[in-house]
Amino acid sequence: MTDLGGALGRVKLASTASPADAAPLRDAARLSFNQATAERASLPDVIEACARAGVPGISLWRHKLAETGVERTAKLLRDAGLWVSSVCRGGMFPALTAAERAARIDDNRRAIDDAATLGAEVLVLVCGAAPDRDIGAARSMVADGIAAIAPYAAECGVRLGIEPLHPAFAAERSCITTMREARLIAAQYDASNVGVVVDVYHVWWDPERAEEIARLGDRIAGYHVNDWLVPVKNVLMNRGMMGDGVIELRRIRGEIERAGYMGPIEVEIFNESIWERPLDELVRLTKERFVEVS
């Protein structure tokens, strides 16, 4: 294992392997490199770096797509032979005025168009925050927003993936904070239309984690890995490379696979010290840690 040193140096193998843990991954066949892990790099550069390192899949963010253009990105991906696991992000439904909520639904339709053009299976929904002392009202706006876009997504062959975010983000990014809550919204639709994206950073702490993952079953629309660093400083940027934190990654993948999900696994890491690394080194390290500890 590469010794990262410094802030990333805390690598300790789990002392508590269990029969419930997944078997080690043998290769990187299921690896999708989420572009947020290389936020400082351009989309064409990330596509090339993935191709060079033998990373087979990628996940795309819309602010990067806007820079490069969706059609040009689709061609670059075809030329490089990469598949796309998801487009990030739709969602952000709650807003104070009806006009603003309608504008956001329009924007979600454009995100669905982008995902369809790129052949992405899933549009990840970060549902939106609860800023104004009424988290219940925000949750209703999320349910309404998903209802407004689900038929169009089905028409376009794009699956919506509700991503519950860690409760630390409830006031700023997503009022949908648990897998259970996401599952109850998704359950109103066909599983092929609306699913749930499970990111270990957001759900590792959940006392009902194993049961909820089992209940999700074929609703699981994506699986994201990274790690929870200790001590926590900035909770948004506290994600680490797999193996550098405290998350029981093999245990959770065991739960995910027993639930029946064998699709792409995205590596998504928001962290300044990760972003500062040279791109090729970062992609290689991601692949190595993916196989060794995820």
Residues that bind its own copies in the complex, under the rule CB under 8 A: 14-16, 130-135, 137, 139, 166-168, 170-172, 175-178, 180-181, 204-208, 228, 230-236, 245-248, 251
* Smallest gap from residue 180 Cβ to its own copies (A): 7
Token pair for residue 53? 């390192």
Which is closer to its own copies, CB of 13 or CB of 66?
Answer: 13
Which is closer to its own copies, CB of 53 or CB of 130?
Answer: 130
Rounded CA separation 8/80 (Å): 31
> In 3-state terms, what secondary structure has residue 232?
coil
> In 3-state terms, what secondary structure has residue 16?
coil
Which is closer to its own copies, CB of 239 or CB of 277?
Answer: 239
* Smallest gap from residue 153 Cβ to its own copies (A): 24
Rounded CA separation 224/86 (Å): 11
Rounded CA separation 180/250 (Å): 21
Token pair for residue 128? 């939106």
Specify whether the backbone of 223 is left (phi greater than 0), alpha (psi in -120 to 50) or beta. Answer: beta
* Smallest gap from residue 100 Cβ to its own copies (A): 15
Which is closer to its own copies, CB of 37 or CB of 238?
Answer: 238
Which is closer to its own copies, CB of 33 or CB of 201?
Answer: 201
* Smallest gap from residue 78 Cβ to its own copies (A): 40
* Smallest gap from residue 203 Cβ to its own copies (A): 9
Q: At what angle do helices 43-53 and 279-293 cross, to 10 degrees?
A: 50
Question: Of 205, 236, 237, 240, nearest to 225 (Cα)?
Answer: 240
